[in-house]
Amino acid sequence: MTPYDAPPGTSDARATARAVRRGERCAEEVLEAHLEVVARLNAEVNALVHVDAEGALAAARALDERVAAGIRPGALAGVPVVVKDNIDVGGQTTAAGSAGRLPVSAVRDATVVTRLRAADAILLGRANMDELAMGASTQTSAFGPTRNPLDHRRSPGGSSGGSAAAVASGMAPLALGTDTGGSVREPASQCGLVGIAPSQGRFPMRGVLPFAPGFDTVGPLGRSVGDVRLATEVLVGRRLRSRLGGRVRLGVPQELCGPANQPGVLERFDEALERLRGLGCVVDPVSLPTAPRGLDAYMKLTSVAALPVLRQGVQTPHAGAEVVRRHEYADHLRRHGRDLLEAAERDRHWLRAETRAALAEHDLLVSPTMPTTAPLLFGDLTPEDLTDPMARPYTDCWTVVTSLGGFPSLSVPMGTSPADGMPVGLMLAGPPGSDADLLALGARFLGEPGG
């Protein structure tokens, strides 16, 4: 299976919505096709921790009745969507991948869910995630690990791995995840999808369980830039218009494009740069000297920002090992690491300044999304794998660079690695407010309309 081919009976979000609006397909039929995929694949992939078949069927039938009555539906008419398990859906438990969360149903929908419903999307279920969003592999969940649909021995990325796996396997055309330091973009890269971490504040966060306030954002994942653009427009409530011209100047941060990347990643990245040049882009090297320290600064700053959530998480005997470890680390930093936190804040300041300087001379920045393809899950590592330092890499070392500065970024697929046949992601980043430009160039790169 590849993530680019929708399973029989399913299709992308735009085509589905168009067909439902025109009366060419009924929403119930669309939903049943996706529920069949869930029934066939979810036991093995474990992308979804809750499937609301009854509620989804009721919503689909109500939509079909409105269409039959001549009422024009919304932009996501009949499109099945899954949401990450840290996003409130009224009447459902927001477990956030944790056995320690109280089994209390959310009183109302998160604002982003309200906007999906207003656009006539069909809420199909809840996606698995790393416990409390603290991980990059979706294997710290109390509900068990999620497996990459393209290779079940491998991680789909995290912490929004369930969202990505659901889309890549055809359970839903669209999914919502959350991204703090790469938790939408990494799963997109590892599963061959498109995923965006928008400008900070672009999407409302009411009803979304926080990880590190000031860093968190909701982000959609889909099979195409067009689908992700459509979801983004629904969530912001307006059309996005790019200001990019035909001659786009791109900066390539040298610190993110060197030997720390797997050879197969660099091979595809070099090919991607040639494609961008062929599209009329001017590609220049730029330098972000502080970028190599970005991951360390990110871990310190977000761990302390996450302390309120961590404290709640460890007040139960069911807290997972990763949550306990992070709480101990964050609490120690708060008590004894003032100098370390000040140094991390300085690095964040310098990295933001360096990125702004690079973007003052360029429209966007471009790099690999990750230095590797999807790593093996812990349970599938062999003794030989454990001798390979790249078997368990810090996969978010590039994505945190843009997250620290609050810069939006988009991951799009740029082929597969010749080493293992797994997807490789290309990351486009820009100044705050450049979301439409990122989507426009991403569409251009993939040869989609609207680029």
Where do we find the tokens 């790099």?
367
The alpha carbon of 316 is separated from its chain's Cα centroid by a whole number of angstroms, namely: 29
Rg (CA), the chain: 21
DSSP track, 13-61: HHHHHHHHHTTSS-HHHHHHHHHHHHHHHHHHH--EEEE-HHHHHHHHH
Q: Reading across the β-sheet that carries 174-179, which strands appear in turn?
A: 48-51, 122-127, 80-84, 174-179, 217-222, 194-197, 409-416, 423-429, 364-368, 249-253, 282-286
Furthest C-alpha separation in the chain: 66
Per DSSP, which regions of 386-441 are E strands?
A: 409-416, 423-429
Which 3 state secondary structure label does DSSP give 123? strand
Instruction: From the candidates 84, 98, 367, 434, give the one annotated as an active-site residue.
Output: 84
String of b and e for 376-407 (b: at least 16 CB within 10 Å)? Answer: bbeeeeeeeeeeeeeebbebbbbbbbbbbbbb
**Cα angle for residues 42, 3, 379 (degrees, 5° grid):** 50
Q: Are 59 and 80 in contact (CB under 8 A)?
A: no
Q: Is 300 a catalytic residue?
A: no
CA-wise closest residue to 6 among 202, 191, 214, 170: 170
DSSP notation for 131-177:
GGG--SSS-S-TT----BTTBTTB---SSSHHHHHHHHTTS-SEEEE
CA angle 195–199–202, rounded 5-degree value: 95
Q: Which of 141, 159, 367, 434 is catalytic?
A: 159
CB contact at 8 A, 45 and 170: no
Q: Which of 98, 183, 224, 417 is catalytic?
A: 183
**Which residues have a Cβ under 8 Å from the Cβ of 368 and sit 6 or more positions away?**
256, 257, 261, 265, 266, 269, 398, 424, 425, 426, 427
Active-site positions? 84, 159, 183
